[in-house]
Structure 1
Amino acid sequence: MKPENSIQYYCCTEVEDRFIYQAFHTGFSDYIIKMDISEDVFLARFFGPEGNRRENSFIAFDQDEPVGVILGGLKIYEGFQTMRCGTLAVHPAYRGKGISQRLFELHKEEAVKHGCKQLFLEVIVGNDRAVRFYEKLGYEKIYDIVYYTLADVSNFEKLRSEFSINRIDFEEFKQAAENWDYHINWQNDLDFIEKTNNTYFYHAMMQDRLAGCLAISAAGTIHFLMVDKKERGKGAGTQLLQTAALDLHLTRMSAGFPNNSLLEGFLKKKGFKKGELKQFEMYLLL
């Protein structure tokens, strides 16, 4: 083991992508959820829809070996300039040596430089070491993210309602979705959805009045489902999901979202089952 002061830190724009991936892959080698993804998939996902940028990310090296990485992404989130930690990973043999602390310091300095008002991240419930680390840094748990799955859409209740359901493009969906103001997690907000591939959009209309809208992937991942308060209980949400299931030839559906008891109740009634995975959304105000 090299002495601690041999660790050098760089912006991720200064290194090859293969080193960023290597630091991530090694750092998550003993994670509670298997993260065995290829370099191509990692780069496309974490520097694509996830919103991380190489210029906002940092990597730690011991000589020629990458031993830690923190990915950062910037955007206006719920009205505030926000820096999100997309991942923080340290080589198992190098933990407890201050690398995570220094990577976080660089992350925070980058956020301050760009005028951020808050730092934000997600962490899996049960990853107690990580939760304690973030709490020590000043983060607070604000929202819980839960996950639901409908394993067989063929059992989905068939319903004919008075709503007209149509597929729309992203711009029409964006205009519709902006009618509602409630907390949406980073992976389901409009910026994230716009960057995803194979996502489809639908709206429910009552004559010329918008009643609800849906964003769902070709694999059945529900990114966004909302029905106007005045139209709830009339079948708009159900018919949106039915239409997408038939249109996209889906066999299953899934959804992940934070603190939305109405949506949880709706999905339970439709046969969705709550999974064991749960995350905290944690914030640090600057």
Structure 2
Amino acid sequence: MPKKGKRMFTYKRCTEVDTDAIYGAFIAGFSDYIIKIDMSKDNFQKHFFGPEGNSHEYSVIAFDDGKPVGLILGGIKVYEGLKTLRCGALCVLPGYRGTEVSHKLFDLHREIALENNCSQMFLEVIAGNERAINFYRKKGYEKVYDLVYYSHSNPSGINTDLPSGFTVQRTDIDVLRSFSREIRDIHINWQNDFDYTSYFDEHRYYGVFKDANMVGGLSIHPAGRVNFLWVDPRFRNKGIGGGLINHAVKELNLKKLAISFPSNASLTGFVKRLGFMKDPITQYEMYLTI
């Protein structure tokens, strides 16, 4: 527990401290989180400073007399055309909540965004975590998207075949990334973005073609996580999306599927028709323009 009386907290960039302090603050800060987090130090380092896109340079840790008591992880990239600072995690040890720590961490987070000429700040938060949501709103964030999750426990039952005249071919991340840049009608959440999937060498990429023209694409992990699925609007409702997934299920021998996406009525209807079931978790994507 924190000492009584006025305390002098210190704050450091994560480049100034060792991994043990960062990991210790993370595990202790999320010890009572809605979702149980059980992660080794090595996996924490690889995940949060790998595909999640956080950088030690843009992350800040709080100390009370040498004890790590709070942490905010940050990562910067050009996201949907705007230089963006994302909050990859914010946690404060239970005994230090209600002190200055969370506010100061976020003030320093905003300073990092301004120092690096970011146009916006961004984060995800679990729906129902009202304390966190209210805190972010007080900091100026607004909810823009609902991020929903679906899963399928029997993908071999998806027997949709591609219509005549369409073929599926394996491709690579660069082809599918270039293809996605031409799309104007979708928002890809941070953890489905190609910068994220580029960290996984085993990730698979498919294109669906009519003659020599690519009219759809699929990015999927061999464990069954779908990160990108899109079909040209001119060719929708013909079984192409289902045919793409069916092709990947058979080629990868998938026993389960998972997909997440920002609220989208047509995609929601599509996954339900294929037999996906909605997971209990929903997140909000919140933005702050600066």
Structure-2 residue corresponding to 1:166 = 169
CA contact (8 A) 2:155 2:249 kept: yes
The one-letter amino acid paired with 1:265 is G
Q: CA deviation at 1:223?
A: 0.2
Structure-2 residue corresponding to 1:150 = 152
Structure-2 residue corresponding to 1:236 = 240
Normalising by structure 2, report the TM-score. Answer: 0.96
Decide whether aligned partners of structure 1 residues 255 and 180 sit closer, same or farther in structure 2, where only a CA change above 3 A counts.
Answer: same
**Distance in 1 (alpha carbons) for counterparts of 2:135 and 2:173:** 39
1:252 equivalent in alignment to 2:252: no
Match among 130, 133, 136 for residue 135 of structure 2? 133
Structure-2 residue corresponding to 1:89 = 91
Q: CA deviation at 1:199?
A: 1.1
CA contact (8 A) 2:154 2:255 kept: yes
SS in 1 for 2:7: helix
Decide whether aligned partners of structure 1 residues 94 and 197 sit closer, same or farther in structure 2, where only a CA change above 3 A counts.
Answer: farther
**Distance in 2 (alpha carbons) for counterparts of 1:255 and 1:197:** 19
The answer to which of 166-175 and 135-144 deviates more is 166-175
CA contact (8 A) 2:173 2:194 kept: no
**Distance in 1 (alpha carbons) for counterparts of 2:41 and 2:279:** 28
The C-alpha deviation readout for 1:234-258, integer Å capped at 9, x for no partner, is: 2211111011111111001010110
Structure-2 residue corresponding to 1:14 = 16
Match among 179, 187, 190 for residue 182 of structure 2? 179
**Distance in 1 (alpha carbons) for counterparts of 2:162 and 2:239:** 8
Q: CA deviation at 1:171?
A: 1.3
Q: CA deviation at 1:55?
A: 0.3
Structure-2 residue corresponding to 1:264 = 268
Q: CA RMSD in A?
A: 1.1
Runs of 5+ unmatched residues, structure 1: none
SS in 2 for 1:5: coil
CA contact (8 A) 1:68 1:89 kept: yes
Structure-1 residue corresponding to 2:105 = 103
Normalising by structure 1, report the TM-score. Answer: 0.97
Identity %: 46
Decide whether aligned partners of structure 1 residues 4 and 194 sit closer, same or farther in structure 2, where only a CA change above 3 A counts.
Answer: farther
CA contact (8 A) 2:202 2:222 kept: yes
Q: CA deviation at 1:197?
A: 3.9
CA contact (8 A) 2:122 2:285 kept: yes
Runs of 5+ unmatched residues, structure 2: none
**Distance in 2 (alpha carbons) for counterparts of 1:58 and 1:281:** 22
Moved over 6 A (4+): none
**Distance in 2 (alpha carbons) for counterparts of 1:158 and 1:189:** 26
CA contact (8 A) 1:161 1:236 kept: yes
**Distance in 2 (alpha carbons) for counterparts of 1:22 and 1:168:** 41
1:118 equivalent in alignment to 2:120: yes
CA contact (8 A) 1:4 1:97 kept: no
Structure-1 residue corresponding to 2:227 = 223
Q: CA deviation at 1:160?
A: 4.3
Number of aligned pairs?
A: 286
SS in 1 for 2:151: strand
CA contact (8 A) 2:156 2:249 kept: no
SS in 1 for 2:237: coil
Q: CA deviation at 1:261?
A: 1.3
